[in-house]
């Protein structure tokens, strides 16, 4: 038993005398110093006098809410990590606790091993948490950049989530940067010295997924020629990122839920019980609520994973972030391809800002890389962009400028081109009509149009 663990002070806040005594006894046997409180106010008095290393507390207390205790702790100069205890009936409260800065939560009933593991993680990560590090550095270091309101909200969530062990569920369209988001979270957390292991659930055959996830022993199945560690074991002490989680089959979801609840697992073909301390981050481009409603995703697993939800906005809703990202990508691609590009022409910048980017950041990267590789110069011009990009928005301009007006046949064609109504005008008329029908309720109009309210606000701003 190491000295740090022997000296760690844990406050157990549990109104049940029997349960509190049991938790304290299990932690003391593991080498911790414990104090048991049966109500919130007694715990607050003790916290004011001496801040412990870890607080284990029930969400439901007889005098005040466990959330109030948590919020008080988090306002102190050197807050303890808080592990929440919850029952099935109060799972929503526990989820809210994680959003407020809770480190982890234990769902009743739980084993003594799970309790000790949670406290050990909370104690260890509190000791290793870097002090006085500007939070913004972690985002820029990972290339996860943005100044829009939507991204500032994401950054604030990541800053809070980085200090806890709680599961993070990232949603967003394809190409919005979900893996970069997970990597940023890992780099900003006390686990940054540990491994970051990413698994694409859609890319692994169902019959091999359990082996990839938990590992296997020699002879477990045909082709298992030697023992092999799975992702859960390899990621011990770090972060495990599960991309496209909704592609996982239901029977595998049950095994993942068991691991989350107990922290233990078995390799395929082995009865040996192993333990792994990992931080789980998940992502999907589907709507998990819809997947649950249609029976393709377990509801209990969804609530266990969706502790800290992070929704990445599509690029079209990030305003000037489009140009920030474009310049960042241009600098990277120019350097890696030994080119001299340093910026974009005003026409290209305007086109980028008005384009909807259905492929999001991934499409932006591909467009810029294609342009940089094929062309030479310092400024990206319109005619340098790939022919497949923005062709509808530029073709009519080029056609109109090259047709001679003194040719009757071509002049007739020119008149036909001019008679075409620009797409943005059609779109503007449709949006304004929807807003009028909905009595100026923009969120409601957005719902009927099938877009987000922020998209409409951005369009209106662009018209003025």
Does 231 lie in the same domain as 86? no
Residue 407: what pLDDT? 47
Number of structural domains, the chain?
4
Does 284 lie in the same domain as 192? yes
Residue 344: what pLDDT? 95
DSSP, collapsed to helix, strand or coil, labels residue 273 as: coil
Within a domain: 201:
yes
Find the CATH number of the domain harbouring 449.
1.10.10
Contacts of 360 (CB under 8 A, 6+ apart): 173, 174, 175, 176, 177, 314, 315
Domain containing 183: what range? 146-313
Find the CATH number of the domain harbouring 83.
3.40.50.2300
Residue 127: what pLDDT? 58
Q: Give CA angle at 50 (57, 30), nearest 5°.
A: 55
**Of the residues 367, 389, 411, the one at which a domain ends:** 389
Cβ-contact 285, 129 below 8 angstroms: no
Residue 437: what pLDDT? 84
Residue 421: what pLDDT? 73
Within a domain: 69:
yes
The residue written with tokens 């290793």 in the block is 128
Within a domain: 418:
no
Does 330 lie in the same domain as 295? no
Does 359 lie in the same domain as 265? no
Does 124 lie in the same domain as 8? yes
Helices (H) and strands (E) in the chain, counts: 22, 16
438 upstream amide cis, omega within 30 of 0: no
CA distance 217 to 215: 7
Does 361 lie in the same domain as 296? no
**Alpha-helical segments (H) within 313-451:** 321-336, 346-354, 360-374, 391-402, 408-419, 423-437, 442-449
Does 191 lie in the same domain as 309? yes
Cβ-contact 267, 310 below 8 angstroms: no
Within a domain: 417:
no
Find the CATH number of the domain harbouring 363.
1.10.8.60
**Of the residues 373, 389, 405, the one at which a domain ends:** 389
Does 217 lie in the same domain as 92? no
Does 448 lie in the same domain as 330? no
Residue 23: what pLDDT? 93
Residue 106: what pLDDT? 82
Within a domain: 333:
yes
Residue 297: what pLDDT? 93
Within a domain: 117:
yes
Does 326 lie in the same domain as 244? no
**Alpha-helical segments (H) within 30-105:** 40-49, 66-74, 91-99
Contacts of 388 (CB under 8 A, 6+ apart): none
Residue 343: what pLDDT? 93
Residue 443: what pLDDT? 65
Using a cut of 0.75, tell me whether the model's pTM lies above it.
no
C-alpha 84: how far from chain center: 22
Within a domain: 141:
no
Segments in the chain below pLDDT 50: 1-5, 129-142, 391-414
Residue 28: what pLDDT? 92
Does 155 lie in the same domain as 207? yes
Residue 88: what pLDDT? 56
Residue 139: what pLDDT? 44
Q: Give CA angle at 104 (101, 105), nearest 5°.
A: 115
Within a domain: 442:
yes
Does 283 lie in the same domain as 158? yes
């Amino acid at each position: 038993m190491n000295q740090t663990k022997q000296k760690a002070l844990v406050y157990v806040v549990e109104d049940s005398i029997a349960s509190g005594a049991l938790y304290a006894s299990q932690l003391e046997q593991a080498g911790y110093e414990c104090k048991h409180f049966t109500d919130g106010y007694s715990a607050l008095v003790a916290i004011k006098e001496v801040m412990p290393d870890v607080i284990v507390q029930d969400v439901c207390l007889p005098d005040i809410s466990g959330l109030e205790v948590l919020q008080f702790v988090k306002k102190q100069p050197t807050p303890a990590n808080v592990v929440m205890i919850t029952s099935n009936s109060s799972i929503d409260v526990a989820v809210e606790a994680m959003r407020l800065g809770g480190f982890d939560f234990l769902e009743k009933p739980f084993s003594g091993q799970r309790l000790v593991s949670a406290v050990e993680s909370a104690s260890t990560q509190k000791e290793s948490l870097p002090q006085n590090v500007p939070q913004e550095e972690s985002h820029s270091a990972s290339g996860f950049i943005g100044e829009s309101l939507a991204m500032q909200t994401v950054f604030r969530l990541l800053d809070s989530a980085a200090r806890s062990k709680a599961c993070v569920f990232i949603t967003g369209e394809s190409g919005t940067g979900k893996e970069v988001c997970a990597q940023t979270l890992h780099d900003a957390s006390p686990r940054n010295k540990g491994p970051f292991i990413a698994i694409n659930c859609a890319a692994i055959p169902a019959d091999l997924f359990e082996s990839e996830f938990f590992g296997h022993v020699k002879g477990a199945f045909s082709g298992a020629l030697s023992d092999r560690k799975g992702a859960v074991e390899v990621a011990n002490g770090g972060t495990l990122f599960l991309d496209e989680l909704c592609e996982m089959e239901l029977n595998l979801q049950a095994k993942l839920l068991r691991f989350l609840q107990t922290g233990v697992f078995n390799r395929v073909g082995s009865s040996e019980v192993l333990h792994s301390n990992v931080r789980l981050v998940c992502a999907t481009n589907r709507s998990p609520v819809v997947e649950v409603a249609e029976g393709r995703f377990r509801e209990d697993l969804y609530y266990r994973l969706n502790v800290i939800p992070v929704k990445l906005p599509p690029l079209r809703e990030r305003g000037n972030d489009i140009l920030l990202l474009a310049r960042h990508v241009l600098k990277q691609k120019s350097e890696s391809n030994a080119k001299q590009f340093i910026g974009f022409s005003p026409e290209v910048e305007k086109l980028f800002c008005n384009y909807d980017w259905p492929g999001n950041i991934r499409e932006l990267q591909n467009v810029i890389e294609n342009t940089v590789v094929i062309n030479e110069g310092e400024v990206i011009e319109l005619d340098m962009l790939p022919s497949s990009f923005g062709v509808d928005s530029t073709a009519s301009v080029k056609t109109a400028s090259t047709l001679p007006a003194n040719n009757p046949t071509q002049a007739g064609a020119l008149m036909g081109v001019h008679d075409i109504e620009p797409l943005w005008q059609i779109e503007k008329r449709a949006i304004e009509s929807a807003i009028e029908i909905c009595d100026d309720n923009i969120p409601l109009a957005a719902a009927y149009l099938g877009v987000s309210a922020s998209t409409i606000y951005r369009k209106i701003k662009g018209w003025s």
